[in-house]
Amino acid sequence: MSILPQIVFLLIFAVAGYFLFKRISYLKRNIFLGKAESRNDRPNDRWKTMLLVALGQKKMFKRIIPAFLHLLIYVAFIVINLEVLEFVIDGITGSHRIFAPFLGGFYGVAMNIFEFLAIAVLVSCFAFLIRRNIMRVDRLTKSELKGWPAMDANLILIIEIVLMFAILTMNATDQILATRGVEGYTLLNGLFFSDLIQPLFINISDSALVFIERFAWWFHIVGILAFAIYVTYSKHLHIFLAFPNTWYSNLKPKGEISNMPEVTNEVNMMLGIHVEGNQEPPAEISRFGAKDINDLSWVNVMNAYSCTECGRCTAECPANITGKKLSPRKIMMDVRDRAEEVGRSIDAGGPGLEDGKSLLGDYTTKEEINACTSCNACVEACPVNIDPLSIILQMRRYVAMEESGTPAQWNAMFQNMETSFSPWKFAPTDRFNWAEKIKDEEVK
């Protein structure tokens, strides 16, 4: 018996592993272009959040139809990968359906479950293609999704469809060969779905069937490995990053805006407020707020790579709904695109962050960040707990504190709040004059 197929399989596996390792290292480096930030507090809450949001898909079910379709694909992804384990062992050992003798009758049951999930994936993927390309759901047709993002979304759905057809084709031809008594093929107890397509192959010769079955097997396993690499270039990276991303979620109340510790310490010192554990003067601040990705935290950059581009944040954004340019999804895509640009430059021996470009200005405009109402609707809507508001506020802080570029109307409001304790320019002593007028009207 030739061991060439096993050698080829191991070579393909090794090559895929090499490229996957390189891409993971690249992504890790890009994410840590962001500043250090510790988020290991409240571990019990973090485990709970990860299990409910990433594993349990809790926030997906705010939109029941896409959530159900997504759940079918998600469950299939987990369960069918158990069959991939058998593929890997068969590829290494040169066996065929190595688990069948050990599982007996349950093996046929398991295969029927896999096939049911394969059909569920087919139905879901076709439904998603229809939603994107025929129904053209509004949040899936925004301007930031033109070009590659739209192609990526469709391509991944088509790949999943083809891979599921490969499973059904493999099983159908495998069972025809087993029925004919061809050596090396195991007859199983009725595979419902693949049995339905057996008539397509019933009149084909044994040698042709063996070729089709082997081609489908190789196509599926090579497709799985190629898919794993492709995912790292795709918005579907959230398949893996959703878990760490939800673990490192911001657990503070939604309305609490984080202050800069350096500024807070300095203000406390000016006011004579002693802060325990702060014996040394604050270090010199290199930059207020964020202009580029290295001013953001690594959690912010990981958020960007975790973005599913589903658009739920943008669909809930009141600024976007009223026609403003702000799209929280675009903010996350901008951060990711800038990180990719810097990463490619570093790998090519280029200037990296010193290329004369920046996140604010070359990717995201002041008009976009100034449209934000800080309402947290985008944060609440995100199915994987991404926080676009944190990035927006850090860029606005840069504009205000480094460039003094805050709109004049805002400056007037801030000055009124500082001097008159309200957004309006009237003395605090006159604050309740309106109540006196109402009282006078009632007396009359």
Q: Which CATH number characterizes residue 336's domain?
A: 1.10.1060
Statement: residue 383 has pLDDT above 90:
yes
Which position has the token pair 């944190």?
A: 390
Statement: residue 191 has pLDDT above 60:
yes
Strand partners, 35: 297
Structural contact between residues 294 and 30, judged by C-beta atoms closer than 8 angstroms: no
Banded model confidence at residue 124, pLDDT cuts 50, 70, 90: very high
Domain span including residue 436: 410-444
pLDDT (average), residues 142-151:
92
**pLDDT, tens only, 212-260:** 999 999 999 999 899 999 999 999 999 999 999 999 999 998 888 888 7
**pLDDT, tens only, 406-423:** 888 888 888 888 888 888
Q: Which residues contact 26 (CB under 8 A, 6 or more apart)?
A: 343, 347
**Residue 253 within any structural domain of the chain:** no
CA 62/CA 123 separation, integer angstroms: 21
Banded model confidence at residue 183, pLDDT cuts 50, 70, 90: confident
Pair 398, 292 in one domain: yes
Pair 241, 286 in one domain: no
Statement: residue 378 has pLDDT above 60:
yes
Statement: residue 286 has pLDDT above 80:
no
| 200 against 424, higher pLDDT | 200
**Residue 82 within any structural domain of the chain:** yes
| 370 against 273, higher pLDDT | 370
**Residue 11 within any structural domain of the chain:** yes
**Residue 46 within any structural domain of the chain:** no
Chain mean pLDDT for the chain: 90
For 35, phi then psi, to 5°, come to -70, 160
Q: How many CA atoms lie within 13 A of 260 on its CB side?
A: 21
Pair 226, 288 in one domain: no
**Residue 55 within any structural domain of the chain:** no
| 10 against 434, higher pLDDT | 10
Q: Which residues contact 100 (CB under 8 A, 6 or more apart)?
A: 107, 186, 188
Statement: residue 278 has pLDDT above 60:
no
**pLDDT at residue 24, as a whole number:** 95
**pLDDT at residue 281, as a whole number:** 54
Pair 265, 296 in one domain: yes
Pair 266, 216 in one domain: no
Pair 136, 85 in one domain: yes
**Residue 341 within any structural domain of the chain:** yes
**pLDDT, tens only, 322-331:** 999 999 999 9
Pair 68, 212 in one domain: yes
Pair 349, 416 in one domain: no
**Residue 358 within any structural domain of the chain:** yes
**Residue 440 within any structural domain of the chain:** yes
Statement: residue 282 has pLDDT above 60:
no
Strand partners, 364: 360
Pair 132, 215 in one domain: yes
3-state secondary structure the chain: CCCHHHHHHHHHHHHHHHHHHHHHHHHHHHHCCCECCCCCCCHHHHHHHHHHHHHCCHHHHHCHHHHHHHHHHHHHHHHHHHHHHHHHHHHHHCCCCCCHHHHCHHHHHHHHHHHHHHHHHHHHHHHHHHHHHCCCCHHHCCHHHCCHHHHHHHHHHHHHHHHHHHHHHHHHHHHHHHHCCCCCCCCCCCCHHHHHCHHHCCCCCHHHHHHHHHHHHHHHHHHHHHHHHHHCCCHHHHHHHHHHHHHCCCCCCCCCCCCCHHHHHHHHHHCCCCCCCCCCCCCCCCCCCCCCHHHCEHHHHHHHHHCCCCCHHHHHCHHHHCCCCCCHHHHHHHHHHHHHHHHHHHHCCCCHHHCCCCHHHHCECHHHHHCCCCCCHHHHHCCCCCCHHHHHHHHHHHHHHCCCCCCHHHHHHHHHHHHHCCCCCCCHHHCCHHHHHHHHHHHC
**pLDDT at residue 255, as a whole number:** 83
- Report pTM: 0.87
Pair 340, 402 in one domain: yes
Pair 218, 149 in one domain: yes
Pair 357, 444 in one domain: no
**pLDDT at residue 285, as a whole number:** 64
- Quote the Cα angle for 106-111-112, to 5°: 95
Neighbours of 271 (CB within 10 A): 7
CA 83/CA 72 separation, integer angstroms: 17
Total structural domains in the chain?
3
Statement: residue 269 has pLDDT above 60:
yes
Statement: residue 187 has pLDDT above 60:
yes
